[in-house]
Chain A
Amino acid sequence: MIARIARHEWHRQRAGLTFWLLLAAGQMTVAWLAFAQLEAFADIAPRLKAGGATLGATDLVVMPTFNSLLLVLLLGTPLLAMGSIAGEAHSGRLALWLASPLSASRIIVGKVLGLWLGLLPLVASASVTLAALGIGVALDPARLALAVAAMLIVSLWLAAVTVWLSSLFDRPAAALTASYAVLLFLWLLDTFSGDATSWRTWALLPHVQPMLRGLLRAQDLTYFAATALTALLLTMRGLDRRRGRA
């Protein structure tokens, strides 16, 4: 049943204009940035080689572009997620979800996976674009694979967090605003927290950057798993509360 709900959500997204606009804008942005990085790399590559530097296209083209993809995902996911619960409540469709025999856990997991499916084409197209650079320049396949895995993990995490934020509101615009506020806070927390380790623990970038540098750390995986699971549980509780059961 979870798979069916996910498929429904994925289908619903594809039927809307937002998904296609986001996919087109995301692809254009990522492709443009990748080629801009590539052009810059082509300019400095001879000097790097002459100086004996070990930095290659993976460091100077692929990873900065994945950083840009992260920003695109951060900006784009709330646009798709705002319809997940807030949009259903605003349109009156949530009544049918709540009246159904489906448990809150099935509904929420299905919706999160459906949203994630909607983000995958963007991650896939960016990954294929960057992998295709390997035809002309030398890339590190292991780091490329880890970076793709990082994007898959982050997009699933984003889906869980933004669906939770969507569940807090009855208006999609309010859910969108709250999502941007929370994600911007987590994005900038790293910059403003300075040496305060406890705050940096919650920041998003310190958990993504190591993976883009080729480091797979348990603490980063724990951060994403713990926060995503918390978001899922809070969303289920929120849906049960709407049913008046919590």
Chain B
Amino acid sequence: MNPALHVVNLSLGPARDRRLHAIDFDLAHGERLGLLGVNGAGKSTLLQLLAGVLTPASGEIRVDGIDIHDDLAVRTRIGYLPQRLPLYGELSVDENLAWAAMLHGLHGDAAADAIDRVLHQVGLAGVRRRLAGRLSAGMAQRLGLAQALVHAPAILLLDEPTAGLDPLQTDEIRRLLTGLDAAISLIVATHLLDDVQRLCSRVLVLDGGRKRGDHAVTADADLLAHFRTAPSLTGTDAR
């Protein structure tokens, strides 16, 4: 059986100035993976590659065995929440979701049903007619998450999903993510150890665009140690 996501030798940028260097990993169906690293480690860039926003200089990204650049249709199996929320402030919650649904080929009754489902899932059904520009930060983040979920993706890519939120809003987003269907594979890019500890079963450590570690996340895992051993922070980078 193919993994949900198969990433081989993924690099970005010209050979002399790589932003990402030969990243390899597999993501199993239903697995929850954290991308951990300091700012500038390459987490967002890696997610942009996995989402298909960018095309790698080398390597391949396969979803259920299909390369996401060879067959664009396979991208409907991916949901992506960028760090900057992709919202139209002048459109309502409903309309923003209709746009996200349209991008993935949903329309008519199928789109309406999907929007109803996801609005209830993220708890925004009561504000569906409100303009996105008038939502609180926590609600806007939930709307972004709903956009990523509206087409029922098999893989969910989240870039700093709790960044800039207050503790209550952060807890709400984490609760939503832990309550997702167990079949959904999840990749969360974050520099918050708490996010990894609560949401992920495995963590990839990135530093300077390179994969520096691949660890299981256990209750007693010392995630801070992974940060401490990052070469860019300890001055031992031998690139």
Q: What residue of chain A has the Cβ atom nearest to residue B49's Cβ? A: A244
Q: Are B91 and A99 in contact (CB under 8 A)?
A: no
Q: Which residue in A8, A91, A95 is a CB contact (below 8 Å) of B53?
A: A95
Q: What residue of chain B has the Cβ atom nearest to residue A90's Cβ? A: B84
Q: Are A5 and B76 in contact (CB under 8 A)?
A: no
Q: Does A135 contact B (CB under 8 A)?
A: no
Q: Does A101 contact B (CB under 8 A)?
A: yes
- Which of A10-18, A203-211, A212-220 lies at the interface with chain B? A10-18
Q: Does A141 contact B (CB under 8 A)?
A: no
Q: Does B233 contact A (CB under 8 A)?
A: no
Q: Which residue in B55, B56, B105, B147 is a CB contact (below 8 Å) of A96?
A: B147
On chain B, the residues within 8 Å of A96 by CB distance are 80, 82, 86, 100, 103, 147
With contact pairs A99-B53, A103-B72 given, residues A15 and B104 touching in the complex (Cβ less than 8 Å): no
Q: Does B73 contact A (CB under 8 A)?
A: yes
Q: Mark B25-63, 1 if CB is under 8 A from A, else 0.
A: 000000000000000000000001001111110000000
How far is it, in angstroms, between the C-alpha of A8 and the C-alpha of B90 when the chains are bound?
13
How far is it, in angstroms, between the C-alpha of A95 and the C-alpha of B102 when the chains are bound?
15
On chain B, the residues within 8 Å of A8 by CB distance are 99, 102
On chain B, the residues within 8 Å of A243 by CB distance are 52-55
On chain B, the residues within 8 Å of A99 by CB distance are 51-53, 75, 78, 80
How far is it, in angstroms, between the C-alpha of A4 and the C-alpha of B107 when the chains are bound?
9
Q: What residue of chain B has the Cβ atom nearest to residue A93's Cβ? A: B86
Q: Mark B59-88, 1 if CB is under 8 A from A, else 0.
A: 000000000010011111010101111111
Q: What residue of chain A has the Cβ atom nearest to residue B91's Cβ? A: A15
On chain B, the residues within 8 Å of A93 by CB distance are 86-88
How far is it, in angstroms, between the C-alpha of A54 and the C-alpha of B51 when the chains are bound?
66
Q: Mark A1-36, 1 if CB is under 8 A from B, else 0.
A: 100110010011001100000000000000000000
Chain B, interface size category, equals 20 to 34
On chain B, the residues within 8 Å of A102 by CB distance are 72, 103
Number of interface residues of A (CB under 8 A): 23
With contact pairs A15-B91, A96-B80, A96-B147 given, residues A245 and B103 touching in the complex (Cβ less than 8 Å): no
* Residue from B53, B78, B85, B91 having most chain A Cβ neighbours under 10 A: B53
With contact pairs A95-B53, A101-B76 given, residues A1 and B105 touching in the complex (Cβ less than 8 Å): yes
Mark out the residues of chain B between 99 and 122 whose CB falls within 8 Å of any chain A CB in the assembled complex. Answer: 99-100, 102-105, 107
Q: Distance in Å from the Cβ of B160 to the closest Cβ of chain A?
A: 13
How far is it, in angstroms, between the C-alpha of A93 and the C-alpha of B85 when the chains are bound?
7
Q: Does A223 contact B (CB under 8 A)?
A: no
How far is it, in angstroms, between the C-alpha of A4 and the C-alpha of B111 when the chains are bound?
13
Q: Distance in Å from the Cβ of B108 to the closest Cβ of chain A?
A: 10
Q: Distance in Å from the Cβ of A91 to the closest Cβ of chain B?
A: 7
Q: Mark A174-193, 1 if CB is under 8 A from B, else 0.
A: 00000000000000000000
* Residue from A5, A12, A92, A244 having most chain B Cβ neighbours under 10 A: A244
On chain B, the residues within 8 Å of A16 by CB distance are 90
Q: Are A100 and B103 in contact (CB under 8 A)?
A: yes
Q: Does B172 contact A (CB under 8 A)?
A: no
On chain A, the residues within 8 Å of B147 by CB distance are 96
Q: Distance in Å from the Cβ of A1 to the closest Cβ of chain B?
A: 7
Q: Which residue in A11, A97, A101 is a CB contact (below 8 Å) of B73?
A: A101
22 pairs of residues in contact across A and B, judged by CB atoms under 8 Å? A5-B102, A11-B91, A11-B95, A12-B90, A12-B91, A15-B95, A93-B88, A95-B51, A95-B80, A95-B82, A96-B80, A96-B82, A96-B86, A96-B147, A97-B103, A99-B51, A99-B52, A100-B104, A101-B73, A101-B75, A244-B54, A245-B55
Q: Which 4 A-B pairs have the closest CB atoms?
A: A92-B84, A244-B55, A100-B103, A99-B51
